Amino acid sequence: MFTWLKTRWHRTGLTAYLTHSDCLKHNMGVGHPECPERLSAIRDQLMAAQIFDFLQEVEAPLVTAQQLARVHPPRYVEYIEACAPSVGTFRMDPDTAMSPGTLEAARRAAGAVVKAVELVCEEKAPNAFCAVRPPGHHAESAKAMGFCFFNNLAVGVAHALSHYKFERVAIIDFDVHHGNGTEEIFRDDPRVMMVSIFQHPFYPYSGDKPMGPNMHNIPLKAGSTGREFREVVENGWLPALHDFQPQMLFISAGFDAHREDDMGSLGLVESDYEWVTRHLVQIADLYCQGRIVSVLEGGYDLSSLARSVAAHLKVLSDA
């Protein structure tokens, strides 16, 4: 186990909490698990736990065409725009649909991560959490899938690399589903290292064979609990992160590996999310001047999602 006697970076200021009411307007239909109530449940829990007092809420801007183009070809963006319905829904695949509010929500979700990067890199916030939807880590450079349209986190990573000229950025993904889109976008990019866990075999049925040497994908069997997860972090993630010495951390923060979330079959609980966040904060303090941008991905049981986000943000904000 890795421990530190002290951190090398003293964090000041309030954690940025980026969101927008437009993210509530994306609706894929009655009964769909990726629902607007997810964001409302998170807000309610943060307020009840008095964690909101330790956050600065920031309105997510719309992503620009230039920012999207670093990750998604313009023809793909034009296709998404053309698919946006004025009424009803348009299905991109059996699980992923656009409603009249989807395009603006997706633009806000990607824009939130870009803004979070700017706030953290310009020392206007010690770190940031993007409470946005639709999620993004399944979106490939030219393919919408798995509830995702734009790869929000990837857009933010590309902004950090291009605008702030970072040489080493690390992505951590603990969603129950493999972040296939993020891997496809950054495979073989030596500036980016990705460490992840995910249930396997499981949707999207990839990740067990990494696409590049910069991808550290560690599949977990159905039924794995926090014990197996912590072993992966201690024996896989942390050594890789120490070797890489990233200058900034990005977290694909999916909470559907919680034991109460029937979207998957892993057994994590709030204390596991709090534990891993503490380790990631320590890595960021050692190598990144504390810079972390965390982005909401999955998590579909409203109660466990809200409690898990609160545990995550309790650590990020020092609440």
Categorize the per-residue pLDDT at 9 as very low, low, confident or very high, splitting at 50, 70 and 90: low
Q: Give the model confidence (pLDDT) of 153-180 as tens digits.
A: 999 999 999 999 999 999 999 999 999 9
Mean pLDDT over 28-48 rounds to 97
87, with CB counted inside 10 A (0-12, 13-18, 19+), is: exposed
Question: Do 259 and 268 form a contact (C-beta atoms < 8 A)?
Answer: yes
In degrees, to the nearest 5, what angle opens at C-alpha 195 toward C-alphas 6 and 295? Answer: 80
- 225 in any annotated domain: yes
Would you say residue 312 lies in a domain?
Answer: yes
Note the pLDDT tens digit of each residue in 247-294: 999 999 999 999 999 999 999 999 999 999 999 999 999 999 999 999
3-state secondary structure the chain: CCCCCCCCCCCCCCEEEEECHHHHCCCCCCCCCCCCHHHHHHHHHHHHCCCHHHEEEEECCCCCHHHHHCCCCHHHHHHHHHHCCCCCCEEEECCEEECCCHHHHHHHHHHHHHHHHHHHHCCCCCCEEECCCCCCCCCECCECECCECCCHHHHHHHHHHHHCCCCCEEEEECCCCCCHHHHHHHCCCCCEEEEEEEECCCCCCCCCCCCCCCEEEEEECCCCEHHHHHHHHHHHHHHHHHHHCCCEEEEEECCCCECCCCCCCCEECHHHHHHHHHHHHHHHHHHCCCCEEEEECCCCCHHHHHHHHHHHHHHHCCC
Whole-number Å distance between alpha carbons of 151 and 165? 20
Q: Is the pLDDT of residue 1 over 70?
A: no
Residue 288 in any domain: the answer is yes
Dig out the tokens for 305 from the structure: 């999602």
| pLDDT tier at 10, thresholds 50, 70, 90 | low
Strand partners, 220: 199
Which tokens belong to 105?
A: 């929500």
* Residue 48 lies inside a defined structural domain of this protein: yes
Q: Does residue 7 fall inside a structural domain?
A: no
* Domain housing 285: 15-316
Task: Read off the CATH number of the domain in which 97 is found.
Answer: 3.40.800.20
Residue 5 covered by a domain:
no
Please, are residues 319 and 274 in contact by the beta-carbon 8 Å criterion?
no
Q: Is residue 202 part of a domain?
A: yes
The arithmetic mean of pLDDT across residues 311-319, rounded, is: 96
Domain count, the chain: 1
Separation between Cα atoms, residue 257 and residue 85, nearest integer Å: 32
Please report how the helices 102-121 and 74-83 are oriented relative to each other, as an axis angle in degrees rounded to 10. Answer: 140
**Averaged pLDDT, 42-59:** 98
Give the largest CA-CA distance in the chain. Answer: 58
Which residues are catalytic, by number?
138
Task: Indicate if the pLDDT at residue 301 is higher than 50.
Answer: yes
Task: Collect all residues with Cβ–Cβ distance below 8 Å to 1 and sequence separation of at least 6.
Answer: 234
Per-residue pLDDT tens digits for 87-130: 999 999 999 999 999 999 999 999 999 999 999 999 999 999 99
Asked if residue 6 has pLDDT above 70, the reply is no
Identify whether 200 is part of a domain: yes
Q: Which residues of 117-156 are buried (b: 16+ CB within 10 A; e: fewer)?
A: bbbbbeeebbbbbbbbbbbbbbbbeebbbbbbbbbbbbbb
Please check the confidence at residue 226 and state whether its pLDDT lies above 60. yes
Structure tokens at 244: 């890489």
Distance between CA 266 and CA 269 in Å, rounded? Answer: 10
**What confidence score (pLDDT) does residue 12 get?**
76
Nearest residue to 268 via CA among 215, 213, 220:
220
